[in-house]
Amino acid sequence: MADGLVLSEPRAGDFIIYGLSGTDLEHFGRLLALLNQPDFGLFSALCERDLWVEGKSQSAIESIVSVFIASGRGQELVQRVIRREVSLTEQETTLFRSVSTATQVLSTFAKQVGTQYLRQVIRPLVLTIVSGSWSFEVDPDKLEEGEQVMVNTLHLVRSCEDMLQHIVATIDQCPRSLWRACKSMFEIVNEKFPSSALKSVGGLFFLRFVCPAIMVPETSGVLDSTPTPQQRRKLVLVSKSLQSLSNAVEFGAKEPYMMGVNKFIRNGTPQMQTLQQRLAVSLSPLSLSFSLSSRELDWIFDDDDEIADSLSLSGIGIV
């Protein structure tokens, strides 16, 4: 939603709920209208005690986020949770590190608006990793017979470099709404913790969005089936390496077996910073694509929020 735009108070009748009609529609519509108050009153109250941060309650956060996105208020929600998290944080080293409603909302928002991006950009690389026969294992205690740490480290680093290059090259395909969320993250964090602003952008994009999709690809639609333990291990190692690169933190005594990746982190840091700066200050070109296959109807909104904003102003809303 555009900055400064004031929404009129939503009413129960503003909501069309698939599968509901009559009294049910009216009652649930009242609940959604209540959640959608311009001042975020109910949502703020619900955030007070981080009621739904446990894994089992993730679906509640997903529902809340999808309702706000449908109302064209996804960006407002993101900005609000970022502001809340920043205002509650005293030490910048702990910024967005805890499990809270804010971090859950950011992860869920990124995933909901970025599913197509993950499928188009991340999926081919993940497929390459899981289908390859080479090992990435760098922990001497977990090596199979005949494997060498040095060779595996080279494979791991090569794969991480490919991943970084591909993400940088295709960053224009990043959903505009996620890009705007990154920009909001930079601006809000920059007010209080300037030195952490760029890293926070990387945290949102990599820690909350890309890395979970690499590590658990079957839950993001990146892979159709669950990877084998060996495949999962490779994905975990790539994910850890990218996450450390995003934080610009080299591996140390805590995980000494990962220190072979530090060269990749040192070499990739300038490129990562450029990427984070790009996400923080500029927006990707607006794109909208629509495809229809013979067996299924597949809408691809590369920019859900932007379009939702426009359609909401025209009297239509989308999820």
Partner 1 sequence: MDQEGPPTTVEEPAPSFIVDADSCFTLHAALRKEMEKINEILEVVQEETKPSYALVEEFKTVMDLLGDAREATMSSQMRASTGTNAVRSLCVSLCVSFFWMDRLNGMELGSGRNPTCLQEWLRLCLHLRWRPRMPKAPRAPSDRAWAS
Restricted to residues 78-97, the positions that interact with partner 1 (CB under 8 A) are none
Contact 242/122 with Cβ under 8 angstroms? no
d(CA 101, CA 85): 9
Q: How far is the CB of 137 from partner 1 (least distance, A)?
A: 16
**Alpha carbon distance 87, 31 (integer Å):** 28
Footprint of partner 1 on residues 241-300 (CB under 8 A)?
295-297
Among 1, 72, 89, 138, binds partner 1 (CB under 8 A): 72
CB of residue 131 vs partner 1: minimum separation in angstroms?
Answer: 22
178-200 b/e (C-beta count within 10 Å ≥ 16 → b): bbbbbbbbbebbbeebeebbbbb
Amino acid at 303: D
Specify whether the CB–CB gap between 246 and 272 falls below 8 A: yes
Residue 33 has which token pair?
A: 């209208």
H/E element holding 276?
helix 262-281
Binding flag, residue 142, partner 1 (CB under 8 A): no
Query: How many residues of this chain bind partner 1 (CB under 8 A)?
Result: 71
The contact mask relative to partner 1 for 5-44 (x = CB under 8 A, - = no) is: -----xx-xxxxxxxx--xx--xx-xxx-xxxx---xx--
Q: Report the nearest approach of partner 1 to the CB of residue 268 (Å).
A: 20
Q: What is the distance between the alpha carbons of residues 300 and 315, in angstroms, rounded to a whole number?
A: 21
Q: Of residues 80, 84, 111, 234, which one binds partner 1 by CB under 8 A?
A: 111
Q: Which is nearer to partner 1, 68 or 278 (CB)?
A: 68
Residue 318 in contact with partner 1, rule: CB under 8 A:
yes
Q: Which two tokens stand for residue 114?
A: 């970025």
Binding of residue 127 to partner 1 (CB under 8 A):
no
Interface mask (CB under 8 A) for partner 1, residues 191-220, using x and -? Answer: ----------------x---xx--xx--xx
Question: Which residue in 1, 62, 76, 205 binds partner 1 (CB under 8 A)?
Answer: 62
